[in-house]
Homo-oligomer: A and B are copies of this chain.
């Protein structure tokens, strides 16, 4: 029973998935233009599902569909990064507060705790890619615990928009050891049910991350990642 659930997906959904992958990995470079027919050929399907997929991706802020110029893979500027991190900061820390207020049982915090441990292990192994993965899992789970599905959705969308830029700058950043202390502190605050503290710590955590990233982009003149 190793059936691949993707097998039964519609071409449109497959196109969305595959295009997202191509965008995240940089196979479709930021700022580049792509005709519908070109993408259809590459994905082995007709233009119809590709068009539909591009509409979806446009809704997710990943591409701009520009008639007769092709779909442009949206680049991320330092300004974009600042906008997105401001949204993430605000909504994630609200989620952290709500998570604390919801008085979760220890079992509910297992995933969060595991993500923190994963980050520790990844850091010790100097495996930044794996650290990034666990970091994303942490933030995703934290927001889920907040219990607001719209916040989860928005945070996922904003995270996707900066995913490429985050990966590209991963090895330019100082080792995120401080980051993990923050994560543990947030978890502790949630355990204690201290909503204000959870919110405050997470807010500071994200604000710091924002500043590091923006500085990085600006000093390296990375204006279109």
Q: Which residues of A contact B (CB under 8 A)?
A: 51-52, 55-56, 59-61, 83-84, 86-87, 90-91, 94, 148-151, 154, 158
Residues of chain B within 8 A (CB-CB) of A150 are 61, 83-84, 87, 158
CB–CB A86/B90 < 8 A: no
Of B51, B84, B94, B148, the residue contacting A52 (CB under 8 A) is B51
**Oligomeric state, in copies:** 2
Residues of chain B within 8 A (CB-CB) of A151 are 83, 86-87
Of B59, B148, B149, B154, the residue contacting A56 (CB under 8 A) is B59
Task: Kindly report which residue of chain B lies nearest to residue A91, judged by CB atoms.
Answer: B90
Interface contacts beyond A55-B59, A84-B150: sample of 19 additional A-B pairs, CB < 8 Å, sorted by A: A51-B52, A52-B55, A56-B59, A61-B150, A83-B148, A83-B149, A83-B150, A83-B151, A86-B94, A86-B151, A87-B91, A87-B148, A87-B150, A87-B154, A90-B91, A90-B94, A91-B91, A150-B158, A154-B154
Inter-chain CA distance A90–B94, complex, in Å, is 8
Task: Kindly report which residue of chain B lies nearest to residue A82, judged by CB atoms.
Answer: B148
Task: Kindly report which residue of chain B lies nearest to residue A161, judged by CB atoms.
Answer: B150
Inter-chain CA distance A148–B154, complex, in Å, is 15
Residues of chain B within 8 A (CB-CB) of A61 are 150
Nearest CB on B from A133, distance (A): 24
20 example contacts (A-B, Cβ-Cβ < 8 A) are as follows A52-B52, A52-B55, A55-B55, A55-B56, A55-B59, A56-B59, A59-B59, A59-B60, A83-B148, A83-B149, A84-B150, A86-B94, A86-B148, A87-B148, A87-B151, A90-B90, A90-B91, A90-B94, A91-B91, A154-B154
Inter-chain CA distance A186–B214, complex, in Å, is 30
Residues of chain B within 8 A (CB-CB) of A86 are 94, 148, 151
Inter-chain CA distance A150–B84, complex, in Å, is 7
List the 5 closest pairs (A to B, CB-CB), nearest first.
A59-B59, A83-B150, A83-B148, A90-B94, A90-B90
